Structure 1
Amino acid sequence: MIIVQETFICKPGNASKLANLFKEIMTDRTELIHILTDLTGEFNKVIMLSQYESISAYEQSYKEYMQNSEEVKKMKEKMKGYHEMYYSGSREIYHVW
């Protein structure tokens, strides 16, 4: 099993907006575990945690996202402009023991 952690450092006032947007668009996604916002540490941080059976399952999910199905088109429409909410981001993938 793997955990994918995607971290976003948001512009001031946008962390809760981005977290709510992720929560809205990811509610039907079975791989989503949690959406987190900071209580301590670096300000304006949003973390999205997802879980997959394997790196292959993660790659398959990414391929499905790139196929631009109707579901993905709707998701992208809701996400329109989200890049303006954050300064930087990163993705880390962990193996669960």
Structure 2
Amino acid sequence: MIIVHDIFICKPGNASKLAKLFKEVMADNKEFVNILTDMTGQFNRVIMVSQYNDLSAYEKSWEDYMKDEEKMKKMKEKMANYTDMYLTGSREIYKVW
């Protein structure tokens, strides 16, 4: 199993807005686990956590998502201008032992 952390460092005042948006958009995604916001450490951080059986399942989920044009269109509409809410981001992929 692998765990994926998509990490966003938000502009001040936008972390809770971005977390709510991700939670809404990811509600029907079976791989979605949690949305995390910081309580200590670096400020204004939002982490979207997802879980997959292996790396091939992770890649397949992206391929499947890109094939579903209607789902992609709805997501783009909901996520319009979300990039205005954060400064930078990164992705971390962990293997669970």
TM-score range, shorter chain: over 0.9
Count, aligned residues: 97
- Counterpart position of 1:79: 79
- Counterpart position of 1:2: 2
- Taking the aligned partners of 1:13 and 1:60, their CA distance within structure 2 comes to 35
- Taking the aligned partners of 1:83 and 1:92, their CA distance within structure 2 comes to 19
Query: Which amino acid is 1:17 matched to?
Result: K
- Post-superposition shift, 1:62? 1.0
Q: CA 1:68/1:83 → structure 2, altered by over 3 Å: closer, same or farther?
A: farther
What's the CA shift string for 1:15-66, capped at 9, x where partnerless?
0000000000111111011100001111100001000011001001111233
- Counterpart position of 2:51: 51
- Taking the aligned partners of 1:17 and 1:43, their CA distance within structure 2 comes to 14
Q: Which runs of 5+ in 1 are unaligned?
A: none
Query: Which amino acid is 1:67 matched to?
Result: K
Q: Which runs of 5+ in 2 are unaligned?
A: none
Give the structure-2-normalised TM-score: 0.96
- Counterpart position of 1:88: 88
Give the structure-1-normalised TM-score: 0.96
